[in-house]
Amino acid sequence: MRICIFGAGAVGSHLAVRLALAGHEVSCVMRGPHLAAVKADGLTLRVGGEEFSARVNASDDPATLGLQDFVVSTLKATGLGSLVAGLPPLLRDDTAIVFAQNGIPWWYDIGLPSDHPPAPDLAFLDPGGRLRAVIARQRIVGGVIFSANEIAAPGIVVNNSTDRNMLLVGECDDRASERIERLRAALVEASILSPPEPRIRDAIWTKLIGNMSVSVLCLLTGQTVKAAVQDPALRDIVPRLLEEAQAIGRSCYPDTRRNTRGGAPADHKPSLLQDYERGRTMEIDALARAPAAFARMAGLSTPMLDLLTALAIRQARDKGLYREPA
């Protein structure tokens, strides 16, 4: 298949290498030194003691990459605006767009199943409705990524979750479809786990429970997930945060619980902390403010999460890394 990874940073580059080595025609929209290195020497993925390299068609201009079967957006929530102009040259009539991002996605209320409670106003995740104006409902595929990666140097990505790499995918209205089966098969063939997921929003909440609590705590403390969870000073804080986060998820899906994926906590800095340390605009709205809107909609009291969210916004704003919603 022809697959374009749009916004191929750490996670996207990992997917690109795996899919290319599985025999797919992979293109990447990327920029800067990472793009220059990939054009010159290809893309390299380091996993444990192994190293995998692949040649991909990389460019900062989507118009040069041709029409695709799937476009997989691995952009942060704060970077999705680049899709507005970048997507059209990649799209055939039947091209699907997979949104593999953290947090509540901009499309959450589109195709909402009848048994799901009404969603709050999430317009701040798509300022001006620009994404809704150019992306038709039938193209939307939800994605939830479990994979810890970092760019060690331009053109080189290190995977820090050697046995925990998974991309869950599903239609925005939860219906079964042939294209989801094709995509899942391609991912599994590329050594990316992709078990069936009948309710993609349930999977979104499953991951978000950790992101809206522990990841924000890591941002405020500068710790890895493992260090924060095992810090004696935070022993009573982490369970209270997770309890509040889980209550929000369960207001939408009563059986939702945090997915620990087995094993010890990852000794890895979550992407929110990586963005802060590297001076990148931070996706606090998708990870924290949007879940808080669901909590208010459900009448839940979440004082711990409200405090962490306010502190995270203040910390990011002081560094110029948070954009106030319009």
Angle, in degrees to the nearest 10, between helices 237-252 and 303-318: 100
Reference 64, options 28, 99, 36; nearest CA is: 28
Query: What is d(CA 228, CA 102) in angstroms, rounded to the nearest whole number?
Result: 20
| Strand ranges, E, within 15-82 | 25-29, 43-47, 50-54, 57-59, 68-73
Contact 43, 17 (CB under 8 A): yes
Query: What is d(CA 67, CA 253) in angstroms, rounded to the nearest whole number?
Result: 37
Query: What is d(CA 124, CA 277) in angstroms, rounded to the nearest whole number?
Result: 25
Per-residue buried b or exposed e for 240-251, using 16+ beta carbons within 10 Å of the residue's own CB: ebbebbbbbbbb
Return the structure tokens found at 126.
Answer: 């798509």
Alpha helices in 212-269 (DSSP H): 216-221, 225-230, 237-252
Query: What is d(CA 241, CA 217) in angstroms, rounded to the nearest whole number?
Result: 9
Query: What is d(CA 275, CA 270) in angstroms, rounded to the nearest whole number?
Result: 9
Q: Measured between alpha carbons, how far is residue 107 from residues 122, 128, 135, 175, 245 in Å?
A: 9, 14, 10, 16, 21
Helix, strand, coil tally for the chain in percent (to 5) = 45, 20, 35
Catalytic residue ranges: 207
Return the structure tokens found at 324.
Answer: 């106030």
Maximum distance among all alpha carbons in the chain? Answer: 55
